[in-house]
């Protein structure tokens, strides 16, 4: 069977940040160039986004933004199936099946739940937030994905998808392919402006669509230590370097590292350099984004729905038969 590579992103903010981009989506794009024979699936994780976003207008608007960004950052829609799981009933159906085969304790150990808990009261969290990894497992297993490119924060969720696939296969016979997370160590956790993991919820992010003024303001906010200009600096401990290197060629990166270590580099200069590189990298993405219409992405989704629906329906039909839901 052809190798399948699948990932998806949540429309929970006005845009994607460079953590999403370098951590998950760029490795996915890179694979579309190197894995010539694989099939690629990229979904709009709006059913996940609904755990946080209940205003229909906003959810729709953010969803369209993500879809347009997929195209603007260089996803080739002729090579990658981009689709909307909310329009494919098998996602919700498999979610139901897997949630009945998963015990509460497993979900209680999940980072997504623990993170949400840390921000509020358990009783106020939605059940959808609690069993978010179950839906994610359904999203992955329906398509027999081999590889799931994600950031480090999603590793545990893909491991749960593996576990539940193995459990199902043991109990009902071989049904699901067991997926592997693909985490690129270099970009597993992209640093935010304050040195913590870059995240929409920490508001410490640089957005792919941030305009020049915002970019400059944010780069100026990157937290630094109190080393003097003359002092030698360890680039791997500097947030400006960690963020800036994402936009450099390997040669530029080597030259930068030398500059840090040699001493004589001010954080002001380091930030100006980072801003320039970032602006030049993001400008063509933003230009392309603004040229894509809502209609274009809606049409693209519609084109893919029947093929995706066919794959997902075949899998859920097999599952329903095996677990005894189908009576004929």
Q: Interior CA angle at 52 toward 51 and 54, to 5°?
A: 95
Tell me the C-alpha to C-alpha distance, in Å, between residue 44 and each of 65, 126, 206, 297. 10, 21, 21, 11
Q: What is the DSSP string of 259-301?
A: HHHHS---HHHHHHHHHHHHHHHHHHHHHHHHH--HHHHHHHH
CA–CA–CA angle 66, 68, 70 (5° rounding): 70
Quote the least distance from Cβ 23 to ligand AMP, whole Å: 2
Q: Based on CB atoms, which residue is closest to ligand AMP, 248 or 265? A: 248
Please identify, using beta-carbon distances, which residue of 231 and 237 lies nearer to ligand AMP.
237
Q: Which of 106, 155, 149 is nearest to 130 (CA)?
A: 106
Query: Given the rule CB under 6 A, which residues bind ligand AMP?
Result: 9-10, 19-20, 23-24, 45, 150-151, 153-154, 189-190, 197-199
Query: Please, which residue, 24 or 311, has the CB nearer to ligand AMP?
Result: 24
By beta-carbon proximity to ligand AMP, the closer residue of 152 and 169 is: 152
Rounded distance, CA 216 to CA 212, Å? 6
Q: Closest approach of Cβ 322 to ligand AMP, in Å?
A: 30
CA distance 268 to 167: 54
| Dist. CA 209–CA 191, nearest whole Å | 18
User: With respect to ligand AMP, which residue has the nearer C-beta, 20 or 319?
Assistant: 20
What is the sign, positive or negative, of the torsion defined by CA atoms of 111, 14, 197, 204?
negative
Sign of CA dihedral 16, 18, 22, 26: positive
Q: Which is nearer to ligand AMP, 39 or 153 (CB)?
A: 153
Closest approach of ligand AMP to the CB of residue 157, in Å: 9
Shortest distance (Å) from residue 201 CB to ligand AMP: 9
In this complex, which beta carbon is closest to ligand AMP, that of residue 24 or of residue 282? 24
Least Å from the CB of residue 46 to ligand AMP = 11
Residue 153 CB, nearest approach to ligand AMP (Å): 5
Q: How far is CA 264 from the centre of its chain?
A: 38
Q: Give least dist CB 110 to ligand AMP, A.
A: 13
Closest CA to 2 of 103, 112, 147: 147
Nearer to ligand AMP, 144 or 153 (CB): 153
Rounded to a whole number of angstroms, the minimum distance from the CB of residue 100 to ligand AMP is: 25
């Amino acid at each position: 069977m052809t190798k399948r590579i699948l990932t998806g992103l949540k429309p929970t903010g006005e845009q994607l940040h460079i953590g999403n981009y370098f951590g998950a989506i760029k490795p996915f794009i890179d694979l579309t160039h190197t894995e010539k024979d694989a099939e690629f699936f990229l979904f709009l994780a709006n059913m996940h986004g609904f755990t946080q976003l209940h205003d229909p207008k906003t959810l729709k608007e953010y969803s369209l933004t993500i879809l347009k960004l997929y195209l603007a950052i260089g996803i080739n829609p002729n090579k990658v199936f981009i689709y909307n799981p909310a329009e494919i009933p098998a996602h919700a159906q498999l979610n139901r099946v897997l949630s009945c085969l998963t015990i509460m304790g497993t979900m209680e150990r999940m980072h997504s739940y623990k993170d949400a808990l840390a921000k509020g009261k358990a009783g106020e969290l939605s059940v959808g937030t609690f069993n978010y990894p179950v839906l994610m497992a359904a999203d992955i297993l329906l398509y027999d994905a081999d590889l799931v490119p994600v950031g480090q924060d999603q590793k545990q969720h893909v491991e749960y998808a593996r576990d539940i696939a193995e459990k199902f296969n043991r109990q009902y016979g071989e049904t699901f392919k067991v997926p592997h997370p693909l985490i690129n160590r270099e970009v597993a956790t992209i640093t935010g402006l304050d040195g913590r993991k870059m995240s929409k919820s920490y508001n410490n992010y640089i957005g792919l669509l941030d305009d020049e003024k915002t970019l400059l303001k944010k780069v100026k906010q990157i937290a630094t230590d109190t080393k003097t200009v003359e002092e030698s600096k360890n680039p791997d401990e500097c947030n400006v370097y960690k963020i800036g290197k994402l936009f450099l060629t390997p040669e530029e990166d080597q030259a930068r590292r030398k500059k840090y270590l040699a001493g004589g580099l001010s954080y002001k200069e380091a930030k100006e350099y980072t801003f320039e590189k970032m602006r030049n990298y993001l400008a063509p993405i933003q230009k392309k984004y603004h040229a894509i219409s809502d209609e274009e992405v809606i049409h693209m989704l519609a084109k893919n729905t029947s093929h995706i629906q066919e794959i997902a329906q075949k899998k859920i039909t097999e599952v329903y038969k095996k677990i005894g839901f189908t009576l004929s």
